[in-house]
Structure 1
Amino acid sequence: MDSLVSTQWLESELGAPDLKVIDATLFLPSDNRDARAEFESEHIPGAVFLDIDDVSDSANPAPHMLPPEHKFASRMQSLGLRDGSRFVIYDNSPLHSAARLWWMLKIFGAHYVAILDGGLQKWKAEGRPLESGKPQVRHGHFTAFLDGNAAVDKDFVAGIVHSDDHEIVDARGPGRFAGEEAEPRPGVAPGHIPGSRNVPQGSLFNPDHSWKRGDELRAVFEAAGVDLGKPMITTCGSGVTAAVLLFGAHLLGKEDVRIYDGSWSEWGADASTPKALGPA
């Protein structure tokens, strides 16, 4: 199974006993939308809903931080998600939050994980089947072993700010990156990590919500001044859309990419960290 699957492929595979479809839609509080309620109203047949907030480290003050292994395993098991399954993840969010769960499943040890190209938006536009209600699930067994090298922390990023050995790439919109728009979280300063590049995560998609590919995708990174030959650290507001950039780089065959999990919510809230304003 490829890392990106088509709507046609998924419809043909629905009902396969080893296939698990997951809705990973996440909205910002300012969106005033209820992802779980929208899932119960309509979703891809057989899908379960996973709340990314619910599978984060609630003990950490920064949002959406990776949870401990036992918590991730417990949440997967409660949704009937099992070792050895093929997982296909989709969303219906401008945050393209399926990428965050794709990354989490991979780094916690799942082998067969894909994102639905175009998400629920494309699925619905093509008139493919939907169902409603709360799914009935049977408890599964999921073994979680976290790859400790998959994410970096604030100290690591602070150590490479003035280094030319890595690219730091920020997925937020240009207004927030430049510090021209207020941050949505209180106590977080405006701006960006010095030396970072800005690739707004939405720029990686076509109008039908499918992913750009090949030269067109590569051009998005290169237009922002990103040297794809260097190891990359991706960041954003809270670690969710940073995974979009990581997955985009993955589609280009680039695997030396890690996420700064604390992202700007952590960096911008720390008075001791250096901050830059203006465009990259």
Structure 2
Amino acid sequence: MQDGKYASDEVLVGPQWLQDHLHDPTLRVVEVDVSSTAYNTGHIGGAVLWNIYGDLKDSNYRLVDKAAVQDLVRTSGIAPDSTVVFYGYAPAMGFWLMKLYGHSRLRILDTSRTSWEQDGRPWTVQAPVPAVTDYLLPDQDGRIRAGQQAVQDAVGLPAVILMDVRTDAEFRGERFWPSGLAEPEGRAGHIPSAMHLAVDGLLTPDGAFRSAEEVRRLFAPVKDSAGEVITYCTVGARACTAWFALSYLMGRGHVRVYDGSWAEWGKMPATPVEAG
């Protein structure tokens, strides 16, 4: 990251850019959220919804398999040459998922859905019906994803930073879910040896990423000389945001997402857990 600049400016697009390109034939817009509630009240014209719990996660909060992702991508009208713009509650999760399967033309809208609507930009309650594509996804890029065993093997290793990006209350073990809801048979706390670095402050009130200097200050505890970083949160949304900021805004290599995150780890009976 150069002074005053992100490492990769092109991965973020502003609202005017998106509005100007909404009707480009190769552009696809995807809203990523934990439910359909917000989307159904209104969304960017032409945008499809990816529901984290309904489309991206299985019943054990693990990422769905390749066949399910491929079907989702195809029915979203995404082709190998598509430029895909993500927005909503968890745009970085959509970005990470497509990058996991090798797609290169990916962008994140650098504003919130609320700001977009309040600015009077194209907004609708009509869900589009995209033409289904025949996209054949390649195998996953294991360099950006960490499974539960890889995380467990990394506990206590000085060459790996396990980065917990949840809130203070979640890290201390005061709650399992961010909302405060309990999870049957779930244990609250954090992974032993994890660094706590909440990423709630990464975005401005209008949903844009903070300046390069502010992002640099937020991630200052992550030493440049450190080896691999594995991010985790509750279901992977915030972990993907941290991965995106580290990888694309700061230009750091060797960053992976533990997408199972606490929803998986905290429900497994034998995984080590610390609280406090």
Please give the TM-score of this superposition, normalised by the length of structure 2: 0.88
For residues 38 and 274 of structure 1, the distance between their equivalents in structure 2, rounded to whole angstroms, comes to 36
Q: Does 1:150 find its partner at 2:144? A: yes
Q: Which residue of the partner structure matches residue 42 of structure 2? A: 42
Shift of residue 57, structure 1, vs aligned partner:
5.1
Which string of whole-angstrom CA distances, capped at 9 and with x for unpartnered residues, describes residues 246-280 of structure 1? 011121111311011221122222232222222xx
Question: Per-residue deviation at 1:9?
Answer: 1.0
Contact 1:193 1:275 in 2 (8 A): yes
Distance 1:44 1:50 in 2: 13
Q: Which runs of 5+ in 1 are unaligned?
A: 27-34
Shift of residue 16 of structure 1? 0.6
**One-letter identity of the residue aligned with 2:55:** V
Q: Corresponding residue for 1:243?
A: 240
Q: 1:229 to 1:126 in 2, by over 3 A?
A: farther
CA contact (8 A) 2:50 2:56 kept: no
* Structure 2 partner of 1:22: 30
Alignment match, 2:225: 229
Secondary structure in 2 matching 1:218: helix
Contact preservation (8 Å) 1:82, 1:141: yes
C-alpha displacement of 1:23:
1.1
The answer (yes or no) to whether the contact 2:29–2:47 under 8 Å persists in 1 is yes
Q: 2:175 aligns with which of 168, 176, 181?
A: 181
Check whether the contact 1:62–1:238 (CA below 8 A) recurs between aligned residues.
no
Deviations 1:155-205 (A, max 9, x none): 211222111101111121110101123444221111101121222231111
Which residue identity is paired with 1:99? A
Across the two proteins, how many residue pairs are aligned to each other?
Answer: 261
Q: Name the CA distance, whole Å, in 1 between partners of 2:54 and 2:103.
A: 19
Counterpart in 2 of 1:170? 164
Q: 2:254 aligns with which of 256, 262, 265?
A: 256
- Does the 8 Å CA contact 1:83/1:141 hold for their aligned counterparts? no
Runs of 4+ in 1 over 6 A off after TM superposition: none
Match of 1:133 among 103, 126, 138: 126
Structure 1 counterpart of 2:96:
103
Contact 1:232/1:258 (8 A) holds in 2? yes
RMSD: 1.8
Q: Deviations over 1:207-237 (max 9, x none)?
A: 2211113121011122xx3324322100011
Identity of aligned residues (%): 28
2:109 to 99, 107, 116: 116
Task: Tell me, yes or no, if the aligned pair for 1:43 and 1:131 is still in contact at 8 Å.
Answer: yes
Unaligned ranges ≥5, structure 2: 1-8
Corresponding position: 1:11 with 2:19: yes
Q: Which residue of 1 aligns with 2:5?
A: none
Cα distance, 1:126 vs structure 2: 2.4
